[in-house]
Every structure is written in C-alpha cells, then in structure tokens.
Structure 1
Amino acid sequence: MDQLLSYLPPSIAGLLEQWDTNVILITIASFFAWVIWRIVYGRLEILAEKTRFHWDDLTLAALKTPVSTLIWCWPATVSLGFLLQDHMGDKLNWLSTVKLLLVIAIFVWITIRLINNIEEYVLDQTNRDETTVQAVAKVSRLFFIVIGGMTVMQAFGLSLSGLLTFGGVGGLIVGLAAKDLLSNFFGGMMIYFDRPFKVGDWIRSPDRQIEGTVERIGWRMTIIRTFDKRPLYVPNSVFSSIVVENPSRMQNRRINETIGVRYDDSTQVETIVEEIKAMLKTHPDIDAKQTLIVNFNGFGPSSLDIMVYTFTKTVNWVRFHKVKQDVLLKILAIVHQNGADIAYPTQTIKLDAQNNEMQGEPV
C-alpha cells in the first residue's frame, strides 16, 4: 500500500493515508457503500421474485430502508466524533455508546418491519384467523421493543438486576394506580387466548346493550360496529364480567312458525301436516339432519295451529330470509292445494232465539 502511495502526488497520498479520519473521504465512502448496497439489493430483489417463497421478499423489504440508514448514519457518527474531538481536544467515549444505540435501533427497526410485513402478507391470505394473526404480531412487536429497551438501558450502564428488583416493588404501585388499564390489558389477553369472538364476528350481549360486528380487538378496548353503523368502544375488562353471544358461530338458523288454518278446514289438517313435512325433508336448503317438527299444535281463538320447526343449512342472514320466504310460500301453496286457507281473526256471535222471543225482541 505504501509503495502504491509513493507514485501519487504528496497531497493526494497524504489525504489517502488519513482516509479513515477525513470527513470528506468518509462521506464519499458512505456514498459508494450506499450505491453498492442499492445494486446488491436490486439483484437480490430480482432473484427473490423468481422464487416461490414469499419470506425472502418480506425479509428484503424489511432490510431496505434500515440498512440504507445504517450506511449513512454510522459514518456520520464517526465523522461527528472526529469533528468534536478536533474542537474539544479530548477523546469522546460517549460516541461508542451512540454507535451501540444506533445498532440496537436498526436491529429493532428491521425486526418490527419484518413482523409488519409478515402480518400484512398473512392477513391477505384467505385461510387465516385475523384475530390470532394480530395478537401474535402485537406480542412479537412488544417483545422486541422490550428487549431493545432493556439493551439500551444496559448500554447506559444501568443494572438490569437492580432494575428488575425495583420493578417488582414499583410494579405493585403502578398496578394499584393503573388497575383499570391493567384489567383492560388482561381482558384483551383473555380474548386473544380464549377466543370467544374474533374480528368480523357478529356478537351481542344479553347483559348489556352491545350488538354488532367486531372491527378491531386492541390492547385496551374492542371496537364494535353496530348495525346502524355507529362505532361502539368497549373496554376489554367488560368482557370478563358479561355473557357474550356469538351468532356468527351458529351452524344453522332456525325457522319457528305457527301456521293457522281455518276451523272449516279441519278435515284437511292431517294431510296438510304430512305434505309440509315431506316438503321440508326434500327442500335443498333445509337441514333434515337437525330437529324437524311439523305437528298440529293446538286450538287457537280463530284457527287450528300447525307448528313448523326446522333449521336451514345457511347461517347468512340475507340468505336465511330468502330460504324462509321460499318455505312459507310453499306452505301457503300446500294449504291452498288442499282446498283450505289461512285463518284470520274472526268472531262468531251466537244469539239465543228463545230468550229473544221471551223479551219481545225480534230474532
């Protein structure tokens, strides 16, 4: 190297001999390192697109900006140290701590970006549980942030053992002061682990006026969109003390109707019952494996009541009503085919002719 520098002009040779302490040369070297990184990244990106796996694309996307930042910030920190050292004339020991903090920050940044990329990729898939994916992502981000924070504290010379000891006493004080916040946090953890509902589920509580579709499950509260499109913000601690019904996990929807036939059609009731039962057993949208009841159920004030109790295969609310409409129309057609009709409220007034004649009133 010295022999090579001897062929150069003295000014340039002296500059190159001090390249690692010259701010301009460090900046130029950073620029070339950044250009090389961009070229290497472009090549790796082309290779990653040719593979069937998506994890390499997600990892590269996570590395892109943080590595570029490190390429510029690390030499900038070194240059800053040289400039300050020339002016102050003293060695700056704290610059090594700054470099360590930079490395820790870049590592945590890359990790969080990777977690975010994986979360977005998994959520775009069709077969995924959104609540579980978000829960794992949140816990992972929190874990690496805590690890990074503890590493930073150790870099500043803080004793982690003493910190943990203080945290045991301080945690009790903080827990008493922020018990509502902690109860909401653990309520959110209960939802994540017990999974009484997930994002997208329709839930309701008979204990409270809570009903709607779950939009988001956070650490402190759950956002529910009611059916009139209003957002409902429910603290997670509420779910540990109320009953929650999850209609989204129904396997079937129930049709429970009472069909009233006129008393004049009493001779046709048995036939109507049998034909309705046969129709339901062969209906493509009725689950015949579930309870299916069609029976003459009682004498109403103005009708002979037939109970129709069955379950549809669909659980979709809109589709269920279409199936129910089709079933009711077919029941109406069966009633009419047998020369009968649906009863409506009527009253029969019976006059006693003998009493009217005794009172001199016309019959």
Structure 2
Amino acid sequence: MNELLTYLPPSIANMLNSWDTNVLFITIASLVAWIIWRVVYGRLEILVSKTQFHWDDLTLTALKTPVSTLIWCWPATISLGFILQDYMGSKLNWLSTLKLILVIGIFVWITMRLINNIEEYVLENQNRDETTVQAVAKVARLFFIVIGALTVMQAFGLSLSGLLTFGGVGGLIVGLAAKDLLSNFFGGMMIYFDRPFKVGDWIRSPDRQIEGTVERIGWRMTIIRTFDKRPIYVPNSVFSNIVVENPSRMLNRRINENIGIRYQDGAKVEQIVADIKAMLENHQDIDAKQTLIVNFNGFAPSSLTLLVYTFTKTVNWIRYHEVKQDVLLEIYSIIRSHGADIAFPTQTIQLEPQKAGEEELLTPSSLA
C-alpha cells in the first residue's frame, strides 16, 4: 500500500494516509458488505423456503442479525484503532483482544438464537414432551455461555488452570453461603430427571396446600397455577421433601356411589342390580376391563343400599362428570322402570294398639 502511495501526487497520498479518510473507506466497505449480505440472505431465504428440511430455516434465521452486527462492528474496531492510534501515537494491542471478544460474542449469540429457534420449533409439535425440551435447551444454553465466558477469560490472559483451582475453593465457600439456592437448583435437576410431573400436568400434595396446573419448571422454582387462577411459586427443593400426587397420569377415573332403594321395593332389588350391571358392561364410556361391582350392599336406616363401583375410560375432569351424569341417569331410569324409587330419609312411628277395656278406677267408695 505504501509503495502504491509513492506513485500518487503528494496531496492525494497525504489524504489517503489520514485516519478520517481510512475511516470513510472502511465505513463505505462495511455498507457494501452489508448490502451484499442482505442480498445473499434474501436469496438463501428463498432457497431454504423451498426445502422440506426445517433446520436450514432455523440456522439461517439465527445467522441474520449476528452476521449483520459483525459486518458493522468488526470494521468499527479497525476504524477505532486508526482514530486512537493517530491521537496516542502508539500501537493498541488491546484492540486485537477486543476483536477476539467480538467474535466470541457473535458465536455465542448465534448459538443462543439457534437453540431458541430449535426449542420453539420442537415445542410446536404436540407429541413432544415440553419439560424435556425445555430442560435440554437450558442445559445447552448454559453450556455455551460457560464455554464463551471461559474463552473470554483466556483472551484476557487469565490462566484456566488457576481459575479452576480457585473455583474449587471458591465453590466450597459459595456452596455454604448459597446452599438454599443450590438445593433448589438440584431440586430442579431431580424434577427433570425423575419427571414426577411435567409442564401442563395437574398435581397436588397431601402434605402441603399445593394443587393446580404446572406452568413452568425453572432452575430455582416451579410455577403452579391453581384452579382459581392464582399462581403459586414453589422452590424446587420442596418437592424432595413432600409427597406429590399427579392425577394427570391416571389411567381411569372412578365412579363410587351408594344408591338407596326403598324398603318396600326389596323384592325388585335383585333384578335392578342385574340390569344396572348389564348397562355398565355395555356402556361405551365405561372401561369394563377394570373392576366393576354392582351389589346389594346393606341395610341402611331408611333404604336398601346398592354399591355401584366402576371406572370410566376418560381421565378428563369435565368429560368424566358428563359420563358420570349419564350413568346416574341410566341407573335412575332402570330403577323407575321396575316400579321402584330412590329412598329418602324417613322415620316410622309405631303406636301401641289401644286396649279394649279401661281399668276400673279405684275410688274410696268402691273400696267400702
């Protein structure tokens, strides 16, 4: 470059040697490079939209903004070097470190965007486990952030071996000071690996007043939305000390009813029991493969009690009540079809029959 400048007129050579001219050329070159990138990106966007492979779309989207940032920021560091070197008159070695940090930051940024895009794309498929996908995405993000931080530290001249040695001692101190935070972190890991519940499950605990739908499982706490729409923020360490019931994983829901028949309908009980059992065995929403019991169960104070014990095929709460309503109406219809009826609480008062003759009253005159 310097040899070429010798063949130019002195005025032009001095202009090209000045820092402001160099900055102008660099800015123009950045603009041209950015325009070329936008054109190339547009062409690539058209090409990947025609493929059935979705990962190329996710990768291209992740590259868009970081590459544009790199096109502007990398030349900007060179321009900054020209400006500062003109004023300070010495070489700036830290600019090379700044460029390395810029490249590392762009790489981590692209990786984070790609992980987020993949997570969103996978979660769009309803057959994917949301909790597992979120757990893998969080671990991947944490891994690349740690790798990027260690690389930046090494770029500043820090010894990683010394840093790891210090981390062993410092980790013990931090662990003692933040044991609750660490217990919540490992509690979250336990939830991810043991999977007693996942996002969207209805859970409850008989040990605590916790019941609702799981909205989010974080590293420190789990958010549960109660049925009256209030959020509950539960530290993850709590789940290692309590019993958690997960009704969402039920295979069936149970119908367990005691139905009272009037005592005067006692002769019809056997046939009523047989008809109710046949109805349940043929009901499309009742799982006849599970336990199914219909029996005369005892003598209650006001009724003859029938036990109806069966399981529905559905586990959905709303659908379960619809099926239960239909079953109870069918049972009532069977009872009425036999000329019987449901008993209601009654009391019978039994009076002693009146004696035929009254005893003669004893008076002083009769005793004389």
Match of 1:104 in 2: 104
How far off its partner does 1:151 sit? Answer: 0.5
Mapped contact 1:276–1:331 kept (Cα < 8 A): yes
Q: Output the amino acid matched with 1:102.
A: L
Match of 1:78 in 2: 78
Mapped contact 1:294–1:306 kept (Cα < 8 A): yes
Alignment of 1:273-352 (within 5 A): 273-352=273-352
Instruction: State how far apart, in whole Å, the 1-side matches of 2:358 and 2:283 are.
Output: 61
Task: Say which one has the larger Rg.
Answer: 2
**Structure 2 residues without counterparts, runs of 5 or longer:** 361-368
Instruction: State how far apart, in whole Å, the 1-side matches of 2:150 and 2:329 are.
Output: 69
How far off its partner does 1:43 sit? Answer: 0.5
Match of 2:39 in 1: 39
Mapped contact 1:291–1:311 kept (Cα < 8 A): yes
Instruction: State how far apart, in whole Å, the 2-side matches of 1:88 and 1:10 are.
Output: 25
Match of 1:187 in 2: 187
Match of 1:175 in 2: 175
Mapped contact 1:221–1:234 kept (Cα < 8 A): yes
Instruction: State how far apart, in whole Å, the 1-side matches of 2:5 and 2:147 are.
Output: 47
Instruction: State how far apart, in whole Å, the 2-side matches of 1:191 and 1:5 are.
Output: 68
Match of 1:143 in 2: 143
Instruction: State how far apart, in whole Å, the 2-side matches of 1:278 and 1:344 are.
Output: 26
Match of 2:245 in 1: 245
SS at match of 1:281: helix
Instruction: State how far apart, in whole Å, the 1-side matches of 2:347 and 2:107 are.
Output: 84
SS at match of 1:196: coil
Mapped contact 1:262–1:304 kept (Cα < 8 A): yes
How far off its partner does 1:353 sit? Answer: 2.4
Q: Deviations over 1:45-86 (max 9, x none)?
A: 000000001110110110000000001000100110111111
How far off its partner does 1:107 sit? Answer: 0.3
Match of 2:266 in 1: 266
Mapped contact 1:204–1:245 kept (Cα < 8 A): yes
Q: Deviations over 1:205-228 (max 9, x none)?
A: 000000000011111100000001
Match of 1:49 in 2: 49
> CA, structure 1 residues 4+48, in 2 after alignment: closer, same or farther (shift >3 Å)?
farther
SS at match of 2:347: coil
> CA, structure 1 residues 28+19, in 2 after alignment: closer, same or farther (shift >3 Å)?
farther
How far off its partner does 1:358 sit? Answer: 7.3
Q: Output the amino acid matched with 1:127.
A: N
> CA, structure 1 residues 270+83, in 2 after alignment: closer, same or farther (shift >3 Å)?
same
Q: Deviations over 1:247-287 (max 9, x none)?
A: 00111110000110000000000000000000000000000
> CA, structure 1 residues 249+358, in 2 after alignment: closer, same or farther (shift >3 Å)?
farther
Instruction: State how far apart, in whole Å, the 2-side matches of 1:356 and 1:94 are.
Output: 126
Instruction: State how far apart, in whole Å, the 2-side matches of 1:359 and 1:155 are.
Output: 122
Instruction: State how far apart, in whole Å, the 2-side matches of 1:126 and 1:327 are.
Output: 32
Matched positions, count: 360
| TM, length-normalised to structure 1 | 0.94
Mapped contact 1:21–1:82 kept (Cα < 8 A): no
Q: Output the amino acid matched with 1:347.
A: Q
How far off its partner does 1:9 sit? Answer: 7.3
Match of 1:198 in 2: 198
Moved more, 205-214 or 5-14: 5-14
How far off its partner does 1:351 sit? Answer: 1.8
Match of 1:207 in 2: 207
| TM, length-normalised to structure 2 | 0.93
SS at match of 2:211: strand
SS at match of 2:40: helix
Instruction: State how far apart, in whole Å, the 2-side matches of 1:343 and 1:359 are.
Output: 43
Instruction: State how far apart, in whole Å, the 2-side matches of 1:32 and 1:62 are.
Output: 22
Match of 1:92 in 2: 92
> CA, structure 1 residues 2+323, in 2 after alignment: closer, same or farther (shift >3 Å)?
same
Q: Deviations over 1:131-179 (max 9, x none)?
A: 1111111111010000000001111111111111111111111001000
Q: Give % identity.
A: 81
Q: Deviations over 1:66-119 (max 9, x none)?
A: 000001000100110111111111111111100000000000000000001111
Structural RMSD (CA): 2.4
Instruction: State how far apart, in whole Å, the 2-side matches of 1:40 and 1:92 are.
Output: 34
> CA, structure 1 residues 125+14, in 2 after alignment: closer, same or farther (shift >3 Å)?
farther
How far off its partner does 1:349 sit? Answer: 1.2
SS at match of 1:351: coil
Instruction: State how far apart, in whole Å, the 2-side matches of 1:113 and 1:294 are.
Output: 60
Mapped contact 1:19–1:26 kept (Cα < 8 A): no
